[in-house]
Structure 1
Amino acid sequence: MAPSDTPTAVAEPLAVVARNLDSASTALANEFVRQYVSAAESGTVDRQAPVEAFDMAVSAIGVCSSGLAGDGPIGELPSGRGSRVALQGRSVVEAVEWLRLLERVVTDHVLAHAGTGAEGIGLDDIRAVLGRLAELFDVLCTRELESFTSTYNELAGWQARVSTDLLSCLIAGPAVDASTVNDQARMLNINPHQPFRAVAAYHDPVPTAQQWARVRRRVLEALWRHDPRREILLRERRGVLLALVPLDRPGPGLVPLLTEMLDGEPGRSLFVSAGEPAKSLSAAGHSCRQALSALEISIYRDQRGQVTQCTDVILEVLLAHNRWVSNRLIETRIGQLVEKPHLLDTLRVYIACDMALQRTAEELLVHPNTVAYRLRQIATLTGRDMRRITDIGDLNVALMAYDAIQMRRDREEARTDLRARLFA
């Protein structure tokens, strides 16, 4: 409120209160410090040094005094507390809570002295003064919030870039420099010497921005329940997410929490996987690669709504990363069946049904005699005995190799190249 905008009848009471605040600023600041430190001891606000609290109060009272007197625009607070609160990772409430406490102290002082002395002011003037004080403190709170928001956004962007660089370094494959990884982790306030485990998630079909925001929130809530300190490294694109999560935490395990999260709406569209635990952050690159490989296998098998751990599909992971071995297994064991998809399907279902002829027929919706005939064909073409466990085991591994090759072909056609989508 500029001086020209202040009615003459109100300007004088405002000036009276402004002079009173100037003369009482030290006493008011001391009273504020007493209440503020007392509140800090009760745990409602963060403890600050009394000298710092005193300086903040004197500055704010001076700004309010100038604003009441109409001496031009409201000045800036030199404390920059909103920015510091953001940098320290504390709640936004702490950026303005001290101002609201100081407002109560100043308001109580104005009410106590408004009707005393030769310069006593009337009730209507008191209302005008209190209204103007409320406006001034609202402006100061807004500036502190803007300072907090600006610093918080800059910090969040910086943390996201460092987190992305760190995950990119870990997932790349070559051995990483542990000291570099540890330095970057400490910049993010993360302890690099605790065990970590990678978790990956994929939404199918590709979600809208709103759908992904909901699913992402559900996944992060599960991760934060496991790690309330939020020492999590995260990288995401719409529809796909990779997180490195600390394991040294009490309470429910990571996999049970994710399984619970999938027991509902997210489970109908979400694939989730987990790599093996790593002893430290610098060794967690293997876990990241395992989680993404397990996720690709989960997608290929359509295992949505469950957590696919790397150990559950360890053979498929090995085969997916060794094309020569996969091709040799296919050629030497089921090469004669590749051009006969009905025989491949029969073999796959026969193994899944524990070599039970009747169950296989029911799954394939054919007569048991048809299944028996096809099994004889498979035995003739492969040279394997369809009743021997060892022969069936060899054929099952060959089927896994066949799936691994098909999955890799899908990846090369950019349908499920999760690493490329995350780090493009």
Structure 2
Amino acid sequence: MATDLRAAATPIANEFVRQHVSGSDPAVGDRLAPVETFEVAVRIVHLCAAALGGERSVADFPSVRGARIALQGKPVAEAVEWLRSLERVVTDHVLAESVLDLDVIRAVVARVGELFDELCTHELESFSSTYEELSSWHSRVSTDLLSCLVAGLPVDATTVNNHARVLNINPHQSFRAFAAYHDPPPSPQHRARARRRVLEVLWRHDPRREALIRDRDGMLLALVPVDRDGPGLVELFRRMLAEEPGQALFMSAGEPGESLVAAGHSCRQALSALEIAVYRGLRGQLTQCTEVILEVLLAHNRWVSNRIIDTRISQLVEKPHLVETLRVYIQCDMALQRTAEELVVHPNTVAYRLRQIATLTGRDMRRITDISDLNVALMALDAVEMRRDQEQGRTDLRARLFA
């Protein structure tokens, strides 16, 4: 049988090429057959013959298509389908040409099957190794691209666009950044579950998978194409956050950028809005940058924040009970009774504290313009406190994401 297979290598290879590569038309099969495919088929048939004669195994046979299929981005099945097609052609030849008894034929077919199993395993290992290397490289390129955009440094449009095309992304469409953070840190199981839910929403919105994603330590930043059919991502994420495990997440969104090169501001806005959401305890919500735009501006301009505090509420900073009373008074729409209920104190106590605040700040606690001015000062105070927490390593989300 080994001698017969070796002699029939050329006809078997031709038949394989006709069926697997060139179609079923025998008149044009040989003429259209790729030489490389034919030569590989001949080598494998000779390998089968050698294996039947006990001469060699597939250990020394190099991978033919596994790595190539991975590099081309094709499904893993294509790495072995061609081998299974060749196996059927070889088996058909053995069954059609053999004059051996049934037990010998069974043994030969079983040995051929084992050999092709080994070949398939070899191709799959080559595919997996190349795919992992390619995925790691894509991840590095994606991370470098996101890191560059987040940093806010001047970027070369040509370089960004070239990197995007390498990742199979159209850089000339509109992109919008979304960020998610799980706090307190969850167990690995809960983290994996929350991450899976976020990615499910992303891929539902972006089936072409053109999003740039950075995921680390319970935090995720995604720069996602905006122009897609169906509900927008804001609506999809809000539906997700209304369910478990979304209620344990902080989420934010930046404003869309007209292209990938211009989308860096959206990343920075999303991360800033996320920092503010975490500081304010807005768990289970999606905070858009436009909803906290004043806080974002104050957080990124420390001199302005400090000057607002110094000129408006510097006399209150060392009196936490007055700061808290002012904050609750504003949140309760300047309603004295509601403020007292929130603070669990007597209304007269609230009135006394408000008179103290008015005396120290020189503001009229009944005037909307004065109250608005004090509210901005409280936002500036929060921004300074948030930055202080970041400098002490407690809430520096950007460093955590790109460290």
Both structures adopt the same fold (TM-score exceeding 0.5): yes
Q: Which residue type is aligned with residue 299 of structure 1? A: V
**Alpha-carbon offset, residue 76 of structure 1:** 5.3
The amino acid that maps onto 2:146 is L
Q: Does 1:228 align with 2:212?
A: no
Q: Deviations over 1:7-26 (max 9, x none)?
A: xxxxxxxxx1x333333334
In 2, are the aligned partners of 1:59 and 1:78 still within 8 Å (CA)? no
Equivalent position amino acid for 1:392 in 2: I
Deviation of 1:58 after TM superposition, in Å, equals: 3.1
**Greater alpha carbon shift after TM alignment, 60-69 vs 187-196:** 60-69
Q: Equivalent of 2:261, from 255, 277, 282?
A: 282
Q: Match for residue 365 of structure 1?
A: 344
Q: What is residue 402 of structure 1 aligned with on the other side?
A: 381
Q: Quick one: which amino acid aligns to residue 65 of structure 1?
A: A
Aligned to 2:391: 412
Instruction: Say whether residues 1:382 and 2:366 are aligned partners.
Output: no
Q: Do structure 1's residue 158 and structure 2's residue 137 form an aligned pair?
A: yes
Report deviation, 1:399. 0.8
- Which residue in the other structure is 2:29 paired with? none
Alpha-carbon shift at residue 261 of structure 1 (Å): 2.5
Counterparts of residues 17-416 of structure 1 (less than 5 Å): 18-37=2-21, 50-51=33-34, 53-74=37-58, 80-114=64-98, 120-416=99-395
User: Could you tell me the percent identity over the aligned residues?
Assistant: 71
Which amino acid in 2 is paired with 1:146? E
**Amino acid across the alignment from 1:269:** A
- 1:143 and 1:134 map into 2 onto residues whose CA distance is 14
3-state DSSP class of the match of 1:335?
Answer: coil
Contact conserved, 1:63 with 1:75, CA < 8 A, in 2?
A: no
Counterpart CA distance in 2 for 1:30 and 1:353 is: 84
Return structure 1 stretches of 4+ with deviation > 4 angstroms. Answer: 37-40, 75-79
User: How far did residue 78 of structure 1 move?
Assistant: 5.8
Q: Deviation per CA, 1:310-331: give whole Å up to 9, x if none.
A: 1111100000011111111112
Equivalent pair of 2:67/2:127 in contact (CA under 8 Å): yes
Looking at structure 2, the residues matched to 266 and 56 of structure 1 have their Cα atoms a distance apart, in angstroms, of: 52
Q: How far apart are the structure 1 equivalents of 2:23 and 2:69?
A: 17
| Counterparts in 2 of 1:38 and 1:260: CA distance versus 1, 3 Å | farther
Aligned counterpart, 1:9: none
TM-score, length basis structure 1 = 0.87
Q: Secondary structure at the match of 1:159?
A: helix
Quick check: 1:195–1:248 contact (8 Å CA) kept in 2? yes
Q: Per-residue deviation at 1:356?
A: 2.2
**Distance in 2 of aligned mates of 1:61 and 1:303:** 66
Change (3 A) 1:75 1:25: farther
**How far has the Cα of 1:208 moved from its partner?**
4.0
Deviations 1:115-140 (A, max 9, x none): xxxxx111111221111011101100
Q: Distance in 2 between matches of 1:393 and 1:55?
A: 81
- 2:27 equivalent in structure 1: none
The residue matched to 2:389 in structure 1 has which SS? Answer: helix
Q: Separation in 1 of the partners of 2:33 and 2:179?
A: 48
* Distance across 2 between alignment mates of 1:50 and 1:349: 80
TM-score (norm. length: structure 2) = 0.91
Q: 1:36 to 1:252 in 2, by over 3 A?
A: farther
Distance 1:59 1:264, change over 3 A: farther
- Single out whichever of 274-283 and 380-389 deviates more from structure 2: 380-389
Compare 259-268 and 280-289 and name the one that shifted more. 259-268
1:43 is matched with none
Q: Which consecutive unaligned segments of at least 5 residues does structure 1 have?
A: 1-15, 41-48, 115-119
Checking the alignment, whether the CA contact within 8 Å between 1:36 and 1:101 is kept in structure 2 is yes
Matches of 2:256 and 2:23 in 1, distance apart?
A: 43
- Structure 1 residues 76, 252: closer, same or farther in 2, change over 3 A? farther
Distance 1:370 1:96 in 2: 79
Kept after mapping to 1: 8 A contact 2:66/2:124: yes
State the shift of 1:216 in Å: 2.1
Residues in 2 aligned to 1:173 and 1:34: alpha-carbon distance in whole angstroms: 57
Distance 1:336 1:39 in 2: 86
* Counterpart-to-counterpart distance in 2, 1:214 and 1:32: 46
Q: Which whole-Å deviations, capped at 9, do the CAs of 1:301-347 have from their partners, x for residues lacking one? A: 01111111111111000000111111111122222221221221121
- Contact 1:56/1:79 (<8 A) preserved: no
Asked if 1 retains the 8 angstrom alpha-carbon contact of 2:47 and 2:57, the reply is: no
- Match of 2:343, as an amino acid? L
Whether the 8 Å contact between 2:194 and 2:246 is mirrored in structure 1 is no
Q: Deviations over 1:39-70 (max 9, x none)?
A: 99xxxxxxxx8425444433332322222222
- SS of the counterpart of 1:245? strand
Contact 1:185–1:192 (Cα < 8 Å) also in 2: yes
Secondary structure, aligned partner of 1:236:
strand
